[in-house]
Amino acid sequence: MTQSGLAKETLQTLESLFHWFHRHPELALNEFETTKKIKAVLQEHDIDILPNPLDTGVFAKIGGKNAGPLIALRADIDALPINEESGLPYSSENPDRMHACGHDFHLTNLLATAFELKKIEGQLNGTVLLIFQPAEEVDHGADRVVQTGILKGVEAIFGLHVNDELPTGVIGVKEGNLNAAVDRFFVTFKGKGGHAAHPESANDVIVATGEFIVSAQSIVSRNVSPFEPSVVSITHIESGKTWNVLPNAALLEGTVRSYDNAVREKIKTRLREVTNGIAATNGIIGEFKWVDGAPAVVNDRHLTQFVEAVARKHNFEVVELEPSMGGEDFSSYQQIIPGTFFNVGVNSPYPVHNSKFKVDPKAFETSVPLFIDLVKTYFEGSAVDGETLLS
Ligand SMILES: [Zn+2]
Ligand SMILES: [Zn+2]
């Protein structure tokens, strides 16, 4: 046994699996080799794989021999369209593909947890559902998983993300708001183009675009409570091709980040009203399109305290995370069941989504024992620090 309590063979298996996944990153909804590999190693360990109507991702379960609750552990499995420059000996073998968000860590962590739980399956007073989720980065992977109905009967869900800023093995938790809802919008202004020298006989969609930018920026400051975090960012503008022509159309694209559902709706409504108002005053057509992204990650208080208590029992360092306006689709599970999403420090010199991002694999020595013990302690319904954790 090592200091972490994990058998040396387990750590070796884990390391070689991690290297394999890191070498073979695949984009959202294309995680075919990743899916095959996950299934193969689960089968090697005799772990029950459940039917999955999705093309990628894997569902499996452990336990169920004794009565008890059903809980879920989730890992995402997709990578990013980045050319890796980490210099790691086990760097990506797929050009322009990289596990730059640590999802290879998440899925290896879940596999290692599964192998250990399988060894004590007969003693588990409950069932663990393992979710290897496709498409976290884009394309609504968590929603797709929820729609399969696999979470029926699950009473709690736990998920983990690597944190490049925290020292290796430090656990980050946060009750309540952790990640914002991530929505996207498009605005198109259409009018009659014309000669730049004769604006009186044409429409000017560029002026309308300028008015929209200014008005949209006043939504957060004038229509939303200062106590509700929210962001409106316009990130993409296209119009015109040359200096002496008033163009026929202009396109704007941007994102809205928020936590509260009412605020989210308010911003969407105001953006639509601003589009229509500016179109009306300029005598042009305004079209507004809103694309819902992941809702906000709002962590269950009891489950978050539970993770913290189990981590402290192991003498792992625990810190409180700062909430972020960045998104994470773990929130889709939290729409239907209580859950908590927490972090493990991996001490990367570069941030996630950077081509030089790399995790310190020593973090497994914290994350795997923590995951195993979350399951065991949950099923025992046991008390830590003299308190019943799950009331
Ligand atoms: Zn990411
Ligand atoms: Zn990620």
What does the alpha-carbon distance between residue 26 and residue 158 come to, in Å, rounded to a whole number? 24
How far apart, in Å, are the Cα atoms of 316 and each of 78, 146, 300, 309, 313?
A: 28, 32, 21, 10, 8
Distance 146 CA to ligand 2 centre (A): 18
Say what the pLDDT of residue 8 is.
85
Distance 149 CA to ligand 1 centre (A): 25
Better-scored residue on pLDDT, 5 or 83: 83
State the Cα angle at 135 between 129 and 138, rounded to 5°: 140
Which DSSP string corresponds to 41-81?
A: HHHHTTPEEEP--SSS-EEEEEE-SS---EEEEEEE--BBS
Residue (of 318, 325, 326) closest to 343 by Cα position: 318
Residue 389: which pLDDT band, with cuts at 50, 70 and 90? low
Q: Which residues pair with 58 in a beta bridge?
A: 132
Residue 99, marked binder: no
pLDDT, one tens digit per residue, over 21-38 is 999 999 999 999 999 999
* Per-residue burial over 245-277, b = 16 or more CB atoms within 10 Å of its CB, e = otherwise: ebbbbbbbbbbbbbbbeebbebbbebbbebbee
Distance 230 CA to ligand 1 centre (A): 20
Residue 265, marked binder: no
pLDDT mean across residues, the chain? 95
Distance 138 CA to ligand 1 centre (A): 9
Distance 353 CA to ligand 2 centre (A): 8
Average pLDDT over residues 30-55: 98
Question: Which ligand is nearest the CA of 106, by number?
Answer: 2
Question: Which ligand is nearest the CA of 105, by number?
Answer: 2
Strand order, beta sheet including 171-173: 48-50, 58-63, 127-133, 70-76, 156-163, 339-345, 171-173, 318-320
Encoded tokens for 73:
């552990």
Distance 101 CA to ligand 1 centre (A): 5
Question: Which ligand is nearest the CA of 161, by number?
Answer: 2
Average pLDDT over residues 348-361: 97
What does the alpha-carbon distance between residue 119 and residue 375 come to, in Å, rounded to a whole number? 13
- Using only C-alpha atoms, the chain has a radius of gyration, in whole angstroms, of 24
| Alpha carbon 356 to its chain's center | 20
pLDDT at 4 exceeding the cut of 70? no
Does residue 241 contact residue 194 with C-beta atoms inside 8 Å?
no
Amino acid at position 267, single letter: I
pLDDT, one tens digit per residue, over 122-132 is 999 999 999 99
pLDDT at 384 exceeding the cut of 90? no
Distance 343 CA to ligand 2 centre (A): 11
- Neighbour count for residue 236 (Cβ, 10 Å): 10
Residue 195, marked binder: no
Domains and CATH numbers, the chain: 8-179+296-388 (3.40.630.10), 181-291 (3.30.70.360)
Say what the pLDDT of residue 264 is.
97
Distance 323 CA to ligand 2 centre (A): 15
What does the alpha-carbon distance between residue 302 and residue 340 come to, in Å, rounded to a whole number? 9
Distance 246 CA to ligand 1 centre (A): 40
Average pLDDT over residues 345-350: 97
The values of phi and psi at residue 84, to 5°, are: -65, 135
Say what the pLDDT of residue 166 is.
98
pLDDT at 383 exceeding the cut of 50? no
Q: The tokens 């294309």 sit on which residue? A: 30
Distance 313 CA to ligand 1 centre (A): 30
Encoded tokens for 193:
């183009």
Distance 161 CA to ligand 2 centre (A): 6
Residue 137, marked binder: yes
Average pLDDT over residues 182-199: 98
- Neighbour count for residue 122 (Cβ, 10 Å): 8
Residue 341: which pLDDT band, with cuts at 50, 70 and 90? very high
Residue 381: which pLDDT band, with cuts at 50, 70 and 90? confident
Say what the pLDDT of residue 358 is.
97
Question: Which ligand is nearest the CA of 80, by number?
Answer: 1
Residue 19, marked binder: no
Say what the pLDDT of residue 385 is.
45
Length of the chain: 391
Average pLDDT over residues 366-380: 97
pLDDT at 388 exceeding the cut of 60? no
Residue (of 293, 307, 345) closest to 180 by Cα position: 293
Question: Which ligand is nearest the CA of 330, by number?
Answer: 2
Say what the pLDDT of residue 67 is.
87
pLDDT at 387 exceeding the cut of 70? no
Does residue 216 contact residue 267 with C-beta atoms inside 8 Å?
no
Of the chain, the percentage scoring pLDDT greater than 70 comes to 96
Residue (of 59, 62, 43) closest to 51 by Cα position: 59
pLDDT, one tens digit per residue, over 275-299 is 999 999 999 999 999 999 999 999 9
Average pLDDT over residues 147-176: 98
